[in-house]
Amino acid sequence: MNPITILGLETSCDETAAAVVRGNPPGPGAILSNVIFSQTEAHAPYGGVVPEIASRAHLEILDGIVERALSDARISLKEIDAIAVTAGPGLIGGVMVGLTMAKGLSMGAGKPLVAVNHLAGHALTARLTHAVAFPYLLLLVSGGHCQLLAVRGAEDFRLYGSTLDDAAGEAFDKTAKMLGLPYPGGPEVEKLASNGNAKRYPLPRPMLARAGCDFSFSGLKTAMRQLIETPDINKADAAASFQAAVIDILKNRTGHAMARFRGDFPENENPTLVVAGGVAANQDIGDGLRALAGENGFALCVPAPALCTDNAAMIAWAGLERFAAGASDPVSTGPRARWPLDASAT
Ligand code: KG4
Ligand code: ZN
């Protein structure tokens, strides 16, 4: 089969991104360009993403980002097979900017439009990078989501568990804020934790005694707040203790999901655990999950950190998978603020 070339656009949160990816399922694909403009600085004074600022910034720079993605890839729109774009879930204003741009390009160049679920982008990155075969177990840990899923196909997900309150990345971001660290907090907490004693402060590990694969981080967050309000705490030790608690929670829940995956896919003798989403960029979390995978006979696949956080290469690839299967979408396709990967689970 001839390789497929896709232009992908991502504007669902605070990254304005465009990329050109070429290949065929199951991968790996070639990333011909991957342009990301992070709005971190614009949002930093507010300690989080401000939707109105985000959509305005997307609107101002998306044009130029798309041009750069095409020129970096040394390709013209004519040579692209289809245009993939995040159609949700995410901040609706930003999603609309990307979707409108993609529709314009699609109509202008006469190229098919492929609407992509942002979460599917994260979920399928391991195929773009490592050609991981279906089915695989996915731990999706980002700023907005914390889920365990069986990935059976590019559009076929079975939800094993999700967070009952905060996402893992959100817990990192809130902890960072409490510690007086800038946004986004994950990398900052990780840096601080690397000099800390993880055993210094005992913190709760919610849900550990429960069956199933659901997560909860709010009890840990409350305990962190109380700890940080205590006089004379050592911030590095607090960050390390927090990160150790998150690792224990993620390992415990993922362990349960591994058992369930084995039961659901007994023919898959050498299963793979894929970790995706921004939090997967955390080295200590990666190490913890590598140990868990080893204990349970799973291979571990963690895409490179730059492909774990939001980017458009993952959107182009998820679009490529859909397009290769014959899918495309009408220009009437609307943005979706909510869009679960496993619709049957909601
Ligand atoms: O996937 P992503 O870029 O955006 C969403 O779709 O949410 O994930 C961003 C999240 C933020 O909460 C950020 O703090 C977290 O991922 N994150 C990390 C690390 N790098 C990013 N969390 C822990 N450790 C890191 N190194
Ligand atoms: Zn994301």
pLDDT at 286: 96
Residue 284: its pLDDT value, please? 96
The yes-or-no answer to whether 4-124+307-345 and 134-303 have a common fold is: yes
| CB neighbourhood size of 56 (10 A) | 16
**Residue ranges of the chain with pLDDT lower than 70?**
346
- Predicted confidence at residue 40, as pLDDT, reads 76
CB of residue 190 inside a 6 A radius of ligand 1? yes
Per CATH, the number for 4-124+307-345 is 3.30.420.40
Nearest CA to ligand 1 atom 23: 186
Taking the centre of ligand 1 as the mean of its atom positions, its distance from the CA of residue 280, in whole angstroms, is: 8
- Cβ-count burial 96-112 (b if 16+ within 10 Å, e if not): bbbbebbbebbeeeebb
Q: Is 173 in the pocket of ligand 1 (CB under 6 A)?
A: yes
Ligand 2 center to residue 142 CA distance, Å? 6
Residues in the chain: 346
What residues does each domain of the chain span? 4-124+307-345, 134-303
pLDDT of residue 207: 87
Q: Mean pLDDT for the chain?
A: 95
What is the CATH number assigned to the segment(s) 134-303? 3.30.420.40
Q: Around Cβ 28, how many Cβ atoms within 10 Å?
A: 15
Residue 172: how many other CB atoms lie within 10 Å:
30
- Give the 3-state secondary structure of residue 274: strand
Distance 143 CA to ligand 1 centre (A): 5
For residue range 273-286, list pLDDT tens digits in order: 999 999 999 999 99
